[in-house]
Amino acid sequence: MKTVIELVVALVILVGVYLLTQRIVIWRLQRTCNRVLRDLRAKGAVAPESAVPLPYARKDLIRIGVRDYRPKAVEILLYQGKIAMNDDGAYYLSRSMTAEEPIG
């Protein structure tokens, strides 16, 4: 019986650690999305004509150091329609984001 309790406690701890790490990843992605939006707003990229290239929009094949969430954040923002990409591959804020208040 003691072994079963130890196994259940270990399983609960394992699931808890997994959920905590997923929550941290989501938090970091949200923070990075806000940074990308602030970056585009600061550069004045509010229309296709004023779009700016984002050097961090592409994933590097070889990257040494901590995980970079910026390429994934750009992908998420494109999917959500908060930013758009012009024909040249430069990014700008979509119309819905230019009318909103500052990101903060």
Does 89 score more than 60 pLDDT? yes
Give the confidence band of 26 by pLDDT, cuts at 50, 70, 90. very high
Q: What does the pLDDT read at residue 98? A: 58
Query: Any idea what DSSP says for residue 44?
Result: T
Do the beta carbons of residue 54 and residue 36 sit within 8 Å?
Answer: yes
Does 104 score more than 60 pLDDT? no
Instruction: Tell me if 104 is assigned to some domain.
Output: no
Instruction: Tell me if 91 is assigned to some domain.
Output: yes
Instruction: Tell me if 103 is assigned to some domain.
Output: no
* Domain extent at residue 45: 2-98
pLDDT in tens, 38-59: 999 999 888 888 899 988 877 7
Do the beta carbons of residue 80 and residue 68 sit within 8 Å?
Answer: no
pTM: 0.77
